[in-house]
Amino acid sequence: MKSGCHHCDEFSRASLLRRGAAEAGRGLPAIEAGMPAPAGTGLDRRSFVSGAFGLALSVYGLGRLGLFEEGIAEAASGPAKPVLVSVFLPGGADSLSVLYPALDPNYHRLRPKLALPDGAGPVFSEDTRLHWHPSLQPLATLHGEGKVSVLPAVGYTHPDQSHFTSRHFWEVGATDARLSTGWMGRYLDHAGTKGNPLQGLSLDYQLQPALASTKVPVASLAAPDEYTFWAPGVWGEVEDRMLQTLASLGSRRSDPVLNQAARATAQSDKLRRQLAPFAASSGNGFGSPVTYPDVDDSFPRQLSGLAAMLAANLPLRCVAITAPGEYDTHSDQPQALADGLDVTARTLLAFQRDLEARGLADRVLTLVWSEFGRRGEENGSDGTDHGAAGAAFLIGKRARGKMVGEFPGLANLDDDGNLRPTADFRGVYCSLLEQWLGMDAAAVIPHAKSFARPALVS
Amino acid sequence: MPPVYRGPFGKPQAERLLWRAGFGPRRGEAERLARLGLDGAVHSLTRPGRDRLKGPRPHDDRGRSLAPLDRWGHDQLWWLDRMVRTTKPLHERMTLVWHDWFATSRDGVGPARLMLNQNRLFRRQGLGSFHTLLTDVTRDPAMLLWLSGVDNTKDSPNENYARELMELFTLGADRGAYSERDVREQARALTGWRNSWDDDLGPVRFRYDKRRHDAGSKRIFGKRGHFDWHDSCRLCVHHRLHPSFFVTKLWSYFVPVPPRPGTKRALQHLYVRSGYQVRPVVEAILRHPALYTGPRMVKPPAVYIAGLLRGLGRGVDTEAWTWLMSLAGQQLFYPPNVAGWDDTRWLDTATFRARWEIAGYAIRPRVLKENARHVPHRPEKLVERARALLGEPTLTGPTEAALMRFAKRSLADANAEWKKRQYPPLIENALRQLLATAPDLQTC
What is residue A1's predicted lDDT score, i.e. its pLDDT? 30
User: How distant is the Cα of B47 from the closest Cα of chain A, in angstroms?
Assistant: 30
A177 chain-B contacts, CB cut-off 8 A: 174
Q: Which of B79, B42, B102 is nearest to B249 (CA)?
A: B102
Determine whether the interchain pair B354/A232 forms a contact, defined as Cβ–Cβ distance below 8 Å: no
Instruction: Pick B295's closest partner by Cβ from A163, A242, A257.
Output: A257
User: How distant is the Cα of B53 from the closest Cα of chain A, in angstroms?
Assistant: 29
Sign (positive/negative) of CA torsion B196, B199, B203, B204?
A: negative
- Would you call B437 an interface residue with chain A, using a CB distance cutoff of 8 Å? yes
Q: Name the CA dihedral angle for A430, A435, A439, A444, rounded to a multiple of 10 degrees.
A: -10
Stretch among A206-215, B203-212, B347-356 having the lowest mean pLDDT: A206-215
Per-residue confidence band for A287, with pLDDT thresholds at 50, 70 and 90? confident
CB A317 within 8 A of CB A200: yes
How confident is the prediction for chain A on average, in pLDDT? 82
- Please give the Cα distance from A444 to B8 (Å, whole number): 47
Q: Please tell me which residue, A222 or B48, carries the higher pLDDT value.
A: B48
A325-382 pLDDT, tens digit each:
989 999 899 999 999 999 999 999 999 999 999 999 999 999 999 999 999 999 988 9
Alpha helices of B346-416 — where are they, by DSSP H? 349-363, 379-389, 397-413
B360 chain-A contacts, CB cut-off 8 A: 28, 230-232
Per-residue confidence band for A69, with pLDDT thresholds at 50, 70 and 90? very low
When pLDDT is averaged across residues B211-223 and rounded to a whole number, the result is: 97
Q: Please tell me which residue, A233 or A11, carries the higher pLDDT value.
A: A233
Pairing of strands B193-198, B202-208: antiparallel
- Please give the Cα distance from B305 to A270 (Å, whole number): 25
B174 chain-A contacts, CB cut-off 8 A: 1, 177
What is residue A79's predicted lDDT score, i.e. its pLDDT? 67
What is residue A286's predicted lDDT score, i.e. its pLDDT? 77
Determine whether the interchain pair B327/A248 forms a contact, defined as Cβ–Cβ distance below 8 Å: no
Specify the number of domains making up chain A. Answer: 1
Residues 6+ apart with CB under 8 A from B411: B377, B379, B423, B424, B427
Does pTM surpass 0.90?
Answer: no
Residue B210 corresponds to which amino acid?
Answer: K
Q: Is residue A269 part of a domain?
A: no
* Domain boundary assignment for chain B: 11-293, 367-444
- Please give the Cα distance from A110 to A154 (Å, whole number): 21
Instruction: Pick B334's closest partner by Cβ from A16, A165, A238.
Output: A16
b/e burial code for range B195-217 (CB count within 10 A of at least 16 → b):
beeeeeeebeebeeeeebbbeee
Q: Which positions 192-221 of A are in contact with B (Cβ < 8 Å)?
A: 197, 202, 204-207, 219-221
Determine whether the interchain pair B406/A245 forms a contact, defined as Cβ–Cβ distance below 8 Å: yes
- Please give the Cα distance from B208 to A83 (Å, whole number): 55
- Please give the Cα distance from B169 to B160 (Å, whole number): 13
B436 chain-A contacts, CB cut-off 8 A: none
A91-147 pLDDT, tens digit each:
999 999 999 999 999 999 999 999 999 989 999 999 999 999 999 999 999 999 999
Q: Is residue A245 part of a domain?
A: no
Domain of residue A395: give its range.
Answer: 11-28+74-225+282-450
Task: Please determine, for the modelled complex, whether the ipTM score is greater than 0.90.
Answer: yes
What is residue B370's predicted lDDT score, i.e. its pLDDT? 87
Instruction: Pick B347's closest partner by Cβ from A8, A21, A260.
Output: A260
Q: Is residue A433 part of a domain?
A: yes
Q: Which positions 373-412 of A are in contact with B (Cβ < 8 Å)?
A: 379-381
A63 chain-B contacts, CB cut-off 8 A: none
Rounded to the nearest 10 degrees, what angle do helices B301-312 and B320-327 cross at? 130
Instruction: Pick B168's closest partner by Cβ from A2, A229, A262.
Output: A2
Q: Which positions 369-408 of B are in contact with A (Cβ < 8 Å)?
A: 369-370, 396, 398-399, 401-403, 405-406
CATH code of the domain in which A189 resides: 3.40.720
Q: Minimal Cα distance from B368: which residue of A?
A: A233
Q: Please tell me which residue, A57 or B312, carries the higher pLDDT value.
A: B312
Q: At residue A458, does pLDDT exceed 70?
A: yes
- Please give the Cα distance from B162 to B320 (Å, whole number): 38
CA R_g for chain B = 24
CB B98 within 8 A of CB B92: no
How confident is the prediction for chain B on average, in pLDDT? 96
What is residue B350's predicted lDDT score, i.e. its pLDDT? 84
Per-residue confidence band for B211, with pLDDT thresholds at 50, 70 and 90? very high
- Please give the Cα distance from B39 to B33 (Å, whole number): 10
What is residue A308's predicted lDDT score, i.e. its pLDDT? 85
A146-193 pLDDT, tens digit each:
999 999 999 999 998 888 789 989 999 999 877 878 999 999 999 998
Determine whether the interchain pair B296/A258 forms a contact, defined as Cβ–Cβ distance below 8 Å: yes
Q: What share of chain A has pLDDT > 90, as a percent?
A: 64
Determine whether the interchain pair B426/A330 forms a contact, defined as Cβ–Cβ distance below 8 Å: no
Q: Is residue A237 part of a domain?
A: no
B238 phi/psi in degrees, rounded to 5: -85, 0
A248 chain-B contacts, CB cut-off 8 A: 398, 401-402, 405-406
